[in-house]
A and B are shown apart, each in its own frame.
Chain A
Amino acid sequence: DVKVTQSSRYLVKRTGEKVFLECVQDMDHENMFWYRQDPGLGLRLIYFSYDVKMKEKGDIPEGYSVSREKKERFSLILESASTNQTSMYLCATKDPPGQGDYEQYFGPGTRLTVT
C-alpha cells in the first residue's frame, strides 16, 4: 500500500513565522502535490513537482514555496505566515503519466492555524 505521511496533524503558528510542512511517500512516485482545502472551496492546488528539484505552480502559489531535494520528500514553505493561510493542507503523490493507475494518494492532512 502507498503510504503518504505528513509531519504534523495540527500546527499553530504566529503571523510572520516561517512554516515548513513536510510530506514523505514510500512508493517511489515521481509526482507530488500540495493542496489546501477550505470549506466551500474544495481542494486547490498550490504547487506540484514531477521530479527532484522540479516544481510547477498550481492555481494558488502566492505566499508559498516548495522544495524537493529527494524523491520521497516534498516540503511546502510559508515564508511569512499570515492568518489567511489558516487552512487544511493535503499532500498527494502519484505515478507519472502513462505509468501506474493514475490515482493520487493523499496524506492525512495538516491543519494549520495562524494566529
Chain B
Amino acid sequence: AQSVTQPDIHITVSEGASLELRCNYSYGATPYLFWYVQSPGQGLQLLLKYFSGDTLVQGIKGFEAEFKRSQSSFNLRKPSVHWSDAAEYFCAVGPRFGNEKLTFGTGTRLTIIP
C-alpha cells in the first residue's frame, strides 16, 4: 500500500533562514506528487505539484521542491522564510491511473521566530 512519511512533526526556523521540509513516499510506480499548505483555521492550498519532466518544480510563495526517484523523496525548500510562512505543510501522492485517491503525510508544522 502507498504511504507518505513526513519525519519532522514540528520545525522552527528564524525569519530569513532557509527551509527544507522532508517527504518520502512508498508507491508501486512513480506517482503524482504534491505539497499543500494549511494556514491556521483554513483549508489546504496547493503549493506545487510534480507530474513529469524537470525534477525541480517551482511553486507559489517562493517554494520549490525536488523529486528524487532514487530516494523516493520530494522535499520542499525555500531559500528565505517569512513570518507569513508559519503554517502546516502536507505532502501527498496520487496515482497516475485509476482512482483519484490522494495519500497524505501526517504534516509538518512550521514555526517562524523573529
Contacts and interface: CB of A to CB of B under 8 A. Distances in A.
Interface of A: 4, 31, 33, 35, 40-45, 48, 50, 56, 58, 90, 92, 94, 96-97, 102-109
Interface of B: 4, 6, 9, 32, 34, 36, 41-46, 49, 51, 90, 92, 94, 97-102, 104-107
Given A90-B43, A102-B51, A108-B41, 11 more contacts: A43-B44, A43-B92, A44-B104, A45-B102, A48-B101, A50-B100, A103-B46, A104-B46, A106-B36, A108-B43, A109-B43
A20 B4 CA distance: 30
Contacts, number: 57
A32 to B, nearest CB: 10
B11 to A, nearest CB: 15
Chain B facing A: main interface SS: loop
* Overall SS of chain A's interface: strand
Given A31-B100, A48-B100, A102 B32 contact: yes
Nearest to B42: A108
Contacts of B51: 102
Contacts of B42: 108-109
Nearest to A103: B46
Given A40-B106, A42-B90, A42-B105, A90 B100 contact: no
A33 B98 CA distance: 16
B101 A42 contact: no
A94 B46 CA distance: 12
B90 A43 contact: yes
Contacts of B100: 31, 33, 48, 50, 94, 96-97
Minimum-distance CB pairs A-B, first 9: A106-B43, A42-B106, A43-B104, A106-B44, A42-B104, A108-B43, A103-B46, A107-B43, A42-B107
Contacts of A31: 100
Contacts of B104: 35, 42-44
